[in-house]
Structure 1
Amino acid sequence: MDRCFAWRAAIRAAAAVLLVILGLAGCSRPPPEARLRERIAEMQQALEAREVSGFMAGVADDFAGGSGLDRTGLRNLVRVQVLRHAAIGVTLGPLDVSLHGERATVKFSVMATGGSGGLLPDSARPWTVESHWRDGDDGWQVFHAEWEPAL
């Protein structure tokens, strides 16, 4: 009888340890590159949903872009596009991600479209983008970006 009780106790203890390990693994943070890709996808979805604040959640307070554009200027640029177009499309090409500790460089192409919500967009333009990101308390945020027309 004592052997059977000891065996059951050992199995229960092993099961408890396994559950704790699985629980900790479930709570672990995804790898940095996966979180960065997720942030970019969230920003893309926010643009397509015309949610300026959702897009700006991924932009650092000290953002600097091409031609001296700061965070406020970027917000205004996005607002103008949202006001100008009833429908916005953002199609990203493959992301070329280079991690450098808590910083990253992401290069990609994007096709941006805008229109009145009909079957075909009223305007479309391909761009090439090089962006620089840092990971912090608010997750990955872009702090510098350069973009230019691809054609």
Structure 2
Amino acid sequence: MPTEDAADEVPWLSRDQQEHWIALIGVISTLPPALDAQLKRDAGLNMYEYQVLVQLGDSPQATVPMSDLAMLASGSLSRLSHAVGRLERAGYVRRVVCREPGRRTAAVLTEAGRAKLEQTAPGHVREVRRLVIDALTPEQLAALGGAARRVLEVTAPDIAARLHL
């Protein structure tokens, strides 16, 4: 049991801070599964696989080294390897060896993958609008975006820098 002095040193959350924190935890806990469910139902992809396709689709030549892609899609190399394997079997992605810089494996978006991305994006955007964008005023959305960027700069500065946040 902490001593009274030790308890006094803890920067406890105020009631308002607790309420905001609990609301954030609720969003973190419920939004990803909701988006994942829509993607699985409508496109047969999970959210992570979709993010991999998006990152590849947004890159020049639709090619990204696997280590970079893992960071951009917010996953480990192991998770990415499994996802790319599933996407390869579906014909959406293929792996190639890059010679610059060094010898690295990269993922490449195939034409079928680009078609899948173009087919999937409208439904995903509709769900993002329904769950987040249209549920907020423009001021709330701007505040949420600013807060999310700031938290990402603290929790994952390398990702924030790569995403140009």
TM-score, normalised with respect to structure 2: 0.26
Question: Rg bigger for which structure?
Answer: 1
Choose between structure 1 and 2: higher strand proportion: 1
TM-score, normalised with respect to structure 1: 0.28
Choose between structure 1 and 2: higher helix proportion: 2
